[in-house]
């Protein structure tokens, strides 16, 4: 049962992250699909990949993107 919840959080988290106007929020929310996928990997019998993904997907990628956002600009510009 728990895997279905993880799958739903993955997809929903991805969509929500992309819908944010605040880029810092979007960057942090990128971690939700990342960590859900890590748990899914554990469920799909890949514990070593899950460990790597837990670090990369839930910490490194969001932090990299968040750092970029802090160094550039916080909000999305209005597209014409």
Partner 1 sequence: MVVDSQLMSFFTAGSLVVIGIFAALFLDNLIKKIIGLAFLADGVNLFIITMGYKPGGIVYIFLPDMVVSNFAQTASYPLPFALVLTNIVIGASTLAVILGLVIILNKRHGSLSASKILRDKGE
Give the Cα separation of 10 and 66 in Å (integer): 19
Query: Which residues in 3-62 contact partner 1 (CB under 8 A)?
Result: 3-4, 7, 10-11, 14-15, 17-18, 23, 26-27, 30, 33-34, 37, 40-41, 43-49, 52-53, 56-57, 60-61
Q: Is 7 helix (H, G, I), strand (E, B) or coil?
A: helix
- Chain residues binding partner 1 by CB under 8 A are 3-4, 7, 10-11, 14-15, 17-18, 23, 26-27, 30, 33-34, 37, 40-41, 43-49, 52-53, 56-57, 60-61, 64-65, 67-69, 71-73, 76-77, 79-80
């Amino acid at each position: 049962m728990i895997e279905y919840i993880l799958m739903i959080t993955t997809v929903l988290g991805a969509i929500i992250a992309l819908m944010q106007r605040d880029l810092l929020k979007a960057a942090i929310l990128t971690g939700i699909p990342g960590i859900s996928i890590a748990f899914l990997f554990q469920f799909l019998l890949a514990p070593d990949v899950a460990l790597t993904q837990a670090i990369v997907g839930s910490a490194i990628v969001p932090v990299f993107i968040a750092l970029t956002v802090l160094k550039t600009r916080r909000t999305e510009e209005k597209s014409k």
